[in-house]
Amino acid sequence: DTGVSQDPRHKITKRGQNVTFRCDPISEHNRLYWYRQTLGQGPEFLTYFQNEAQLEKSRLLSDRFSAERPKGSFSTLEIQRTEQGDSAMYLCASSLQGQGASGYTFGSGTRLTVV
Amino acid sequence: GENVEQHPSTLSVQEGDSAVIKCTYSDSASNYFPWYKQELGKGPQLIIDIRSNVGEKKDQRIAVTLNKTAKHFSLHITETQPEDSAVYFCAASITSRQLTFGSGTQLTVLP
pLDDT at B8 over 60: yes
- Contact state of B96 with A100 under an 8 Å Cβ cutoff: yes
Task: Spell out which residues of chain A touch residue B100, defining contact as CB-CB under 8 Å.
Answer: 45
The three-point CA angle A96-A38-B24 to 5° equals: 70
- Per-residue pLDDT tens for B17-43? 999 999 999 999 999 999 999 999 899
- Per-residue pLDDT tens for B51-94? 988 899 999 999 999 999 999 999 999 999 999 999 999 999 98
Confidence (pLDDT) at B96? 73
Confidence (pLDDT) at B17? 97
Confidence (pLDDT) at B59? 94
Cβ burial, residue A43 (10 Å; 0-12/13-18/19+):
buried
- Per-residue pLDDT tens for B93-109? 988 789 999 999 999 99
Confidence (pLDDT) at B1? 84
Confidence (pLDDT) at A72? 86
Confidence (pLDDT) at B84? 98
Q: Can you list the residues of chain A whose pLDDT is less than 50?
A: none
Confidence (pLDDT) at B35? 97
Q: Any chain A CB within 8 A of the CB of B106?
A: no
Confidence (pLDDT) at A1? 53
Confidence (pLDDT) at B10? 98
* Residue B45, min C-alpha distance to chain A (Å): 7
